[in-house]
Amino acid sequence: MAIAPDKLPMVSAVNDIQGPGQGRWTYEDYAALPDDGKRYEIVDGVLYMSPSPGRWHQEIVGEIFSYLRIHVKLAGLGSVYMAPFDVVLAYNQTVQPDVSAVLNDHRDRITDNHIVGAPDLVVEVISPGSAGYDRREKQNMYARAGVPEYWLVDPAAHTVEVLTLEYSEYRSLGVFQGKAILPTKLIATFPVHVEQFFA
């Protein structure tokens, strides 16, 4: 199906795939999907499909992954992953965050094929077609699952919002840009300026 030139692709619920029906998808159903090159996720048992990421999205994801790898993995604090790598938060919650980090205290959550349980940090690079999904469905799900820190990266504005979990809800520590250093609570020393993610 062709996309109208003035309509951007969006994250959308998938209703035309054989399966248990929306609201009843589980990780087992998700794992049985054929590898058709599309990016699927399950939130509250609903199967979603994300459009393929563009060049700038991938450039930014790569930069963030590289800096986190230096300051988490190479510093001996934990492991860092980027999509596609499944995170199974519950039997009916499976997502592929753009970047996720698991600190050493929770390394038992990492298997050969996925993370089972909440990563310590999740990063999503938003786009016009995913912003609502990342700020509603995913943000609520990450909070319920107990993900301590969630970064929302806006490529158009060159900003990063840092959300930290407090009493099962996220509180924004602010939106940062330019020479600002993110106030992450998970990495003792993370001397990276926000602008470096967008270089």
Complete edge-to-edge strand list for the sheet that includes strand 159-166: 78-82, 99-103, 121-125, 149-154, 159-166, 169-177
CA distances 144 to 37, 138, 139, 169, Å, are: 29, 10, 9, 8
Predicted confidence (pLDDT) per residue in 96-149, tens digit? 999 999 999 999 999 999 999 999 999 999 988 888 888 999 999 999 999 999
How many C-beta atoms lie closer than 10 Å to residue 86's C-beta?
A: 22
- Can you give the CATH number for the domain in which 145 is found? 3.90.1570.10
Q: Is 20 in the same domain as 89?
A: no
DSSP summary character for residue 33: S
Specify the pLDDT at position 57: 92
Specify the pLDDT at position 162: 97
Q: Is 187 in the same domain as 154?
A: yes
Q: Is 118 in the same domain as 93?
A: yes
Q: Which residues pair with 78 in a beta bridge?
A: 103
Q: Is 131 in the same domain as 109?
A: yes
**For residue 169, what are its two tokens?**
């809800």
User: Is residue 182 domain-resident?
Assistant: yes
DSSP summary character for residue 71: I
* Amino acid in the structure at residue 21: G
User: Is residue 7 domain-resident?
Assistant: no
Q: Is 73 in the same domain as 44?
A: no
User: Taking the complete model, does pTM exceed 0.85, yes or no?
Assistant: yes
Q: Domain range for residue 22?
A: 12-50
Predicted confidence (pLDDT) per residue in 64-109, tens digit? 999 999 999 999 999 999 999 999 999 999 999 999 999 999 999 9
Q: Is 66 in the same domain as 40?
A: no
Q: Is the pLDDT of residue 151 over 80?
A: yes
User: Is residue 135 domain-resident?
Assistant: yes
- For 81, the 3-state DSSP assignment is strand
Q: Is 46 in the same domain as 65?
A: no
Q: Is 130 in the same domain as 40?
A: no
- For 161, the 3-state DSSP assignment is strand
Q: What single string gives the DSSP state of each residue in 96-160? A: --SEEEEEGGGGGGB-SSEEES--SEEEEE--TTTHHHIIIIIHHHHHHHT-SEEEEEETTTTEE
Q: Cα(142)–Cα(8) distance, rounded to whole angstroms? A: 26
Instruction: Return the residue matching tokens 């990495």.
Output: 187
Give how many domains the chain has, as a whole number.
2
User: Is residue 2 domain-resident?
Assistant: no
User: Is residue 1 domain-resident?
Assistant: no
Q: Cα(56)–Cα(42) distance, rounded to whole angstroms? A: 25
Task: Round the average pLDDT of the chain to a whole number and report it.
Answer: 92
